[in-house]
Structure 1
Amino acid sequence: MSRVVRRPRSAVRRPVTISVVAVLVLAVGYLVAAAAVPFAPASASTTTYAAPTSTVPDLTFPGYGATAVEATDFPDSLRTSGDAKPRSIASISKVVTALVVLDEKPLQPGQTGPTITFSPGMQALYAKYLAVNGEVAPMPAGLKLSEYQTLQVMLMKSANNYAGSLAIWAFGSMNAYEKAAGRWLDAHGLDDTTIEEPTGLDADNKSTATDLVELGQLALANPVVKEVVATKKVTVPGAGEIENSNKLLGLDGVEGIKTGTLDEAGACLLFAATYERGGKDVTVVGAMLGGVDHDSLDDDVQRLLRSVADNFQVITLAHAGQTFGTFSTPWQDEADAVSKSASEVLVWGKTTVSAKAKLDRITLGTKGERVGRVRFTITDHDPVTVPLVLERPIEDPGIWWRWTNPFQGA
């Protein structure tokens, strides 16, 4: 008789139990692995930038002589009219005299400088220049004035005898001054300017309108000259009450610089005016040569200055919250990269603006987190950089998405 051998019940269950455990281990391993796999960075794309527009300047130039005008710190703003040849500049020459003398005998703001004792030779210049109808100021025997006071009489009243005296005092002779002036002009790149003597009575003292704009900017950069040419009236011992010959001073923002009158030159003016635009002070420097008289020239200067001032514009580079890019995640979430703050610049005339956004590599992020930058390139300006931040958060999609989309974020 055959005999049936029965295996223990526990032996039958063991393979089944092992299989179940194995499946559970694999499942847990999958879930853990799927949950632990890091996401790849969100894809990033930048948007097309719509640049702001600006206008071409339409300036009001006179129909005579030579004119140049430029907004300081806006090099591309230089505009010219008339001829470009060197012209007689009359008493604008005295601006060169002041700067050359101050280069030799410097003054700090607030200082009056050394005392000048006017010699008989200097006093003789009064009669010399008066004989040729040159502008002069009293210079009594034994007069002593500071360097600053002498500059006031020369630049404000345009007194030729004081200009000649300053040149002799600083350099010893007119010839020595002429050589010093030539070296100074060369050093400052004023290649189209010639100075034969310090007063401007010599018609061979010549310059171009564009060179004079450079000269005007050098004058304003010297705090002593800038202060003197902006002074309307002063009393100087021995010379009396001195009024500035520039009748535009204080009108339309005009703060200088120097008049000039000579038969060969006509009426001339080296001028500067400052305006408040876009929360900033902007200065315009110009030169107008060859006018019939100073009344009509002054009218033309005022018209020109107004047209220059009207061409300053504040343009918006970016509004706060403006979109410059978008991040997209594997779980179909999107968030824009937006400008953290608004950005504006003051420009003059026609201006070209371009923008280049750079987005960081991110996976998750909070609202307002910095995620890149946009760099603006602007005509006549230093580049401007604006931070970019997330407009809304990029949040973890959660464990369920990770389990149901295995490894899609990797």
Structure 2
Amino acid sequence: MPLTQRQIFRRRRIVVFSVAGVVLATAFYLPLTLLAPLDEVSAQVLAVETPVAAEPELTLPSYGASAIGALDRPGVLAQAGSTDPIPIASITKIITALVVLDAKPLEVDEAGPTITFGQTDVDFYNAQVAQYGSVSPVYDGLQLSQRDAMTVVLLPSANNYAQSLANWAFGSEDAFVAAAAVWLQEQGLENTTLTEPSGIQDTNRSTAADLTELARLAIGNPVIADIVSTSSAEIPGIGAVSNSNALLGIDGVDGIKTGTLVVGWSCLLFSADVTVGDEVITLVGAVVGGPDHPTINAAIRELIADATAGFSEVEVATDGEEFADYDTPWGDESAAVAASTVKMVVWGEDEISVTVEAVPVRLAESGENAGALHVQIGSDTFEIPLVFSEEIDDPGAWWRLTNPQSLF
């Protein structure tokens, strides 16, 4: 039966609208799929094996008081013996030198002002001789630079020069003692007391923990650090003076100050540079109240060796090590990898934690930022960059056209 005119028109209209619909759908579908932004792809974070440091084993003396620390770490690594303030003998002179430098600063290569010694200084000498104190010669009219006078205080440990230096800087020993009390409080050395500048009196007292902090302050002062690391010096009008520290130059020891009060009371405030992996660590500490200097020197050498062994170098990340994986719907794969090998020196008791932060991604070039490792060692935190191991490229037109469900 032939189609009527109305049927023909209706069919033509259906065809026209169908074609128009296809054209319109294509006109919208193609740009939408080809230009649609990709969804972010999240990473699958991998399990991290946290490095573990060996437990330190330190042998500390059973006599007096002792402690050891590291220059860049607060507090002490270990301590033993009395926790009450005890006599510190000529370690006092380090405090005297620091307090004088606080009032009369010097640059490390500066001689400083000239000090003219007089009868008062001769009287200091005679009084120290009467008490069997350590002295260096002086006479009325002797002139020395501040640097040379400090060298005589710190190397041969001349009690009379400690008195003279304090008297020169502050006008009297009483004024020095008052200034020292303020300085000690400012430094947080609350368990340290000075009653005179030389250390001959047993009323000059401190704790091993305070002395470890004092060692940090001494090594942190370039003038004192330079003087105490010197084995000998030539002083005009006096002659050669030698460092009383018999450990100087042994096992990395580069300071700081001996002390002897009476027979059976020997002390050493010490510092030593030791190497762990590629890092140099400065150890600081004190042994106070030992029977004699050979005994405490042997104990300090053992303590330095034990503390050095207590540090270790751990590898936190290896160059190219994978910490997270990326798997895109269109088949591209990449990983968040360490940008370099990172090793860190840790103390055996440090807690180590590592967390992975991997950024979501759409497209990425190889080597671009992929996040970071957040590393905590003790109280310190670090970040290690992560990068993409492979390129994550656009999936292309065909995938876009055939996977609209992944785009919309």
Name the TM-score class by shorter chain.
over 0.9
C-alpha separation in 2, matches of 1:209 and 1:77: 9
Q: Is 1:395 matched up with 2:393?
A: yes
Q: 389-398 or 194-203, which moves further after superposition?
A: 389-398
The alpha carbon displacement at 1:73 in A equals 0.8
C-alpha separation in 1, matches of 2:133 and 2:354: 58
The alpha carbon displacement at 1:32 in A equals 4.8
Q: Is 1:323 matched up with 2:322?
A: yes
The alpha carbon displacement at 1:5 in A equals 11
| Identical aligned residues as a percent | 42
Listed one character per residue, the Cα deviations across residues 257-298 of structure 1 (whole Å, up to 9, x for unaligned) are 110011287011000111233333211111001111111111
Q: 276-285 or 199-208, which moves further after superposition?
A: 276-285
Residue number in structure 1 paired with 2:313: 314
C-alpha separation in 2, matches of 1:278 and 1:378: 17
Aligned Cα root-mean-square deviation (Å): 2.4
Map 1:4-403; keep pairs closer than 5 Å.
Answer: 14-15=12-13, 18=16, 21-22=19-20, 24-25=22-23, 28-29=26-27, 30-75=29-74, 77-263=76-262, 266-381=265-380, 383-403=381-401
C-alpha separation in 1, matches of 2:22 and 2:199: 104
C-alpha separation in 2, matches of 1:173 and 1:17: 114
3-state SS of 1:327 partner: strand
Report if the CA contact (8 A) 2:51-2:315 is conserved: yes
Report if the CA contact (8 A) 2:269-2:285 is conserved: yes
Q: 273-282 or 215-224, which moves further after superposition?
A: 273-282
- Compute the TM-score of the two structures, normalised by the length of structure 1: 0.92
C-alpha separation in 1, matches of 2:178 and 2:53: 47
Higher CA-based Rg:
1
The alpha carbon displacement at 1:365 in A equals 2.1
1:145–1:409: structure 2 CA closer, same or farther, 3 Å change rule? same
3-state SS of 1:142 partner: coil
Unaligned runs of 5+ in 2: none
C-alpha separation in 2, matches of 1:143 and 1:5: 136
C-alpha separation in 1, matches of 2:32 and 2:244: 88
1:15–1:228: structure 2 CA closer, same or farther, 3 Å change rule? same
C-alpha separation in 2, matches of 1:123 and 1:76: 41
1:99–1:77: structure 2 CA closer, same or farther, 3 Å change rule? closer
C-alpha separation in 2, matches of 1:32 and 1:142: 98
1:51–1:346: structure 2 CA closer, same or farther, 3 Å change rule? same
Report if the CA contact (8 A) 2:356-2:373 is conserved: yes
Report if the CA contact (8 A) 1:90-1:265 is conserved: no
C-alpha separation in 2, matches of 1:257 and 1:312: 22
3-state SS of 1:310 partner: helix
C-alpha separation in 2, matches of 1:168 and 1:6: 129
C-alpha separation in 1, matches of 2:40 and 2:311: 44
The alpha carbon displacement at 1:348 in A equals 2.0
Equivalent of 2:404, from 387, 403, 406?
A: 406
C-alpha separation in 2, matches of 1:102 and 1:139: 22
- Compute the TM-score of the two structures, normalised by the length of structure 2: 0.92
3-state SS of 2:404 partner: coil
Q: What amino acid is aligned across from residue 396 of structure 1 in structure 2? A: D
Q: 231-240 or 148-157, which moves further after superposition?
A: 231-240
Report if the CA contact (8 A) 2:91-2:268 is conserved: yes
1:141–1:389: structure 2 CA closer, same or farther, 3 Å change rule? same
C-alpha separation in 2, matches of 1:133 and 1:327: 78
Q: What amino acid is aligned across from residue 159 of structure 2 in structure 1? A: N
Q: 327-336 or 145-154, which moves further after superposition?
A: 327-336
How many residues are treated as equivalent by the alignment?
406
1:202–1:406: structure 2 CA closer, same or farther, 3 Å change rule? same
1:334–1:130: structure 2 CA closer, same or farther, 3 Å change rule? same
Q: What amino acid is aligned across from residue 123 of structure 2 in structure 1? A: A
Unaligned runs of 5+ in 1: none
C-alpha separation in 2, matches of 1:15 and 1:180: 106
Q: What amino acid is aligned across from residue 154 of structure 1 in structure 2? A: V
Q: What amino acid is aligned across from residue 389 of structure 1 in structure 2? A: V
The alpha carbon displacement at 1:180 in A equals 1.4
1:76–1:335: structure 2 CA closer, same or farther, 3 Å change rule? farther
